[in-house]
Structure 1
Amino acid sequence: MGTIILASASPRRKKLLEQIGLTFKVVKSNIKEALDVHIEPHTLAEKLSQLKANVVAKTEKNALIIAADTLIVFEDEILGKPKNAIDARKILKMLSGNIHIVITGFTILDSSTGILITKSVETKVFMKEMTDEEIHRYIATGEPLDKAGAYGIQGKGAIFVEKIEGDYSNVVGLPLFELTKELKKFNV
């Protein structure tokens, strides 16, 4: 195994890997994330993470590739990233005062051997009731526009999260506990 590669342009995932002391480089996987609502969410998150890892493996031949995909599930509906501010408002209104699930699928792929591990982790998030004014002010910051579920638990959106059940880093975008457990199988 050569270089460790994060197959993601997400600054949040980059920060999480830096937090655990990994030395890696970032190679963005240029795939169009199409949400197939007919696939069970855990399976979809895992498949998307595998697809991202496989795309990067085509150009990175001697690497350990880490890829991930995070989905928000509310009342059996998969919520992706908002298309615009209007969509972000709609998503935040739905999540307000309710419980939703964050699922992150991740893949670790050794591109030199083809050996891969894919898993998904689920975290339950309890959101407080948000006023229209709070939603408006939050959207005006721009923060919700590039995040699944239209909020960032690690940023200004933290004030809307009452509590979580599960792995906090999973909600940010990479379940560090499970990831590090699986990385050990690759001697990392």
Structure 2
Amino acid sequence: MLLDAYTGVGTFAILLAPSVKRVIAVEESSAAVADAKQNAGDLQNLEFVLGRTEDVLRNLPVKPDVVVLDPPRSGCQPRALESLIEMAPSRVAYVSCDAETLGRDLKILCQGGYRLDEVAPLDMFPQTHHVECVALLSRGESSSQPGPAILTLASASPRRRELMDLLGLEFAITPADLDEDSLLGESPVEMVERLSRQKALAVAAGMESGLVIGADSTVVFEVQAVGKPVDDDDARRMLRMLSGTTHHVSTGITVVDAASGQILSDAMTSQISLRDLTDQEIEASIASGVPRDKAGAYAVQDTDLRPAADWEGCYNNIVGLPICRLLEMLQELGYLLPDGWTVPDAVACGDDCPTVSAQLQEGSP
């Protein structure tokens, strides 16, 4: 059985009726229902119901196998989506010309156990911000559900792997092999956001489902990006240059839904002040090998060198992966954290993190 919600004059219901056993079409405008019945002609398997979709769905006596949603630009009412999720039809086709309300409703459906299989845009409203989209969803294990390797870290960084391990969420590692040079005229923040996006997209291209996390970090000193040292002499130069200075660390972060192609990208910047490092400390650090794969040739979490005198902003952002922002982005894409899960103390950012501060302000009365 097919349910055509918001049927209007019956366009979809009439077109699809010959392909299914039964169609129930819902419309709240009596004039539209009258026109729809006239348009339907002699179709015997098509029933029109006058009423608001959110009311009809709650009292529908039969469970539909497939549902077509074509709501007004304001999208579906929450009660309609709740009833739809409860009925759990195997397939849903959602037609919309408003990207904002479409995204809002798709998020609710994906959190309710649906997988977003495809979104096809159609430019039916030239020179306006409206784009007609048809989204296809199927019931079953959603890419938003936690499970083995549902999260993939597109990075070989041991620090990012350690942070992900501390979260206690299952994930896989598939490093992206990319040229990490900056582009002409590109700022450090633009560079790390671009590289994080390229890493995530490169790995997601080889996957059918799952959420792929890309990240890239750089030290920013006097408006210039300070990358990884090419050798020990370069590490020595960097450490001497940064010793006793206040500078910044910027990290770009991207999450890609491999199934839908949806992309979220952002960049965060934290401020850090290094203490004055002695030549002996610098040489000992170089001998340990720590600077070799670190932007700026140091690690804020290095318990031997202990380079930081102070910092402002997200600490994990300085390490290389802003967990606070990552969790926000994962949930924006429908990822469901395990019941009862909380952020482990080992990766908690602290109240001075801008993301955490914003969350606290939103939660305050």
Q: Give TM-score scaled by structure 2 length.
A: 0.50
> CA offset at residue 116 of structure 1?
0.8
Q: CA deviation at 1:37?
A: 5.7
AA aligned to 2:193 is E
Structure 2 residue runs of 5 or longer lacking an equivalent are 1-142, 145-149, 336-365
> 1:184 is matched with which residue: 331, 334, 354?
331
1:171–1:14: structure 2 CA closer, same or farther, 3 Å change rule? same
SS of equivalent residue, structure 1 residue 159? coil
- 1:69·1:104 contact (CA, 8 Å) conserved in 2? yes
Q: Deviations over 1:124-155 (max 9, x none)?
A: 01001111111111111100111111001112
Does residue 144 of the first structure (1) align with residue 291 of the second (2)?
yes
Amino acid at match of 1:186: L
Q: Name the counterpart of 1:24.
A: 171
Assess if the C-alpha contact under 8 Å between 1:102 and 1:171 holds in 2: yes
Equivalent of residue 88 in structure 1, options 205, 223, 235: 235
1:37-116 aligned within 5 A: 38-116=185-263
Amino acid at match of 1:93: R
**How far 1:158 moved relative to its partner?**
5.2
- d(CA) in 1 for partners of 2:185 and 2:279? 32
How do 1:122-137 residues align onto structure 2 when only pairs under 5 Å count? 122-137=269-284
CA distance in 2, matches of 1:169, 1:158: 18
State the shift of 1:157 in Å.
Answer: 6.0
- Whether the 8 Å CA contact 1:73–1:102 is kept in 2: the answer is yes
2:317 to 159, 170, 175: 170
Compared CA separation, residues 30 and 73, structure 1 to 2 (3 A): same
Distance 1:27 1:178 in 2: 21
Q: Give the TM-score normalised by structure 1.
A: 0.96
Give CA deviations for 1:72-131 in whole Å, capped at 9, x if unaligned: 100011100000000000000110010110000000000110101000111101001111
Q: Deviations over 1:24-46 (max 9, x none)?
A: 10001011211236201211111
Answer 1 or 2: higher relative contact order, Cα 8 Å, separation at least 6: 1
Return the letter of the residue paired with 1:79: V
The correspondence for 1:119, drawn from 249, 266, 270, is 266
Q: Which amino acid aligns with 2:282?
A: I
Between the aligned partners of 1:155 and 1:131, the Cα distance in structure 2 is 16
For the residues of structure 1 that align with 2:184 and 2:166, how far apart are their CA atoms? Answer: 33
1:77 alignment partner AA: Q
C-alpha separation between the residues in 2 aligned to 1:77 and 1:70?
13
Identity %: 38
Q: What is the CA–CA distance in structure 1 between the aligned matches of 2:268 and 2:210, rounded to whole Å?
A: 24
Matched AA of 1:22:
L
For the aligned residue pairs, the C-alpha RMSD in angstroms reads 1.3
Q: Which runs of 5+ in 1 are unaligned?
A: none
Deviates more, 1:152-161 or 1:96-105: 152-161
* Cα distance in structure 2, aligned partners of 1:118 and 1:159: 31
Structure 1 contact 8–67 (Cα < 8 Å) conserved = yes
Offset at 1:70?
0.3
Matched residue SS, 1:114: coil
Opposite residue 313 of structure 2, the aligned amino acid is: G
**Cα drift, residue 156 of structure 1:** 3.8
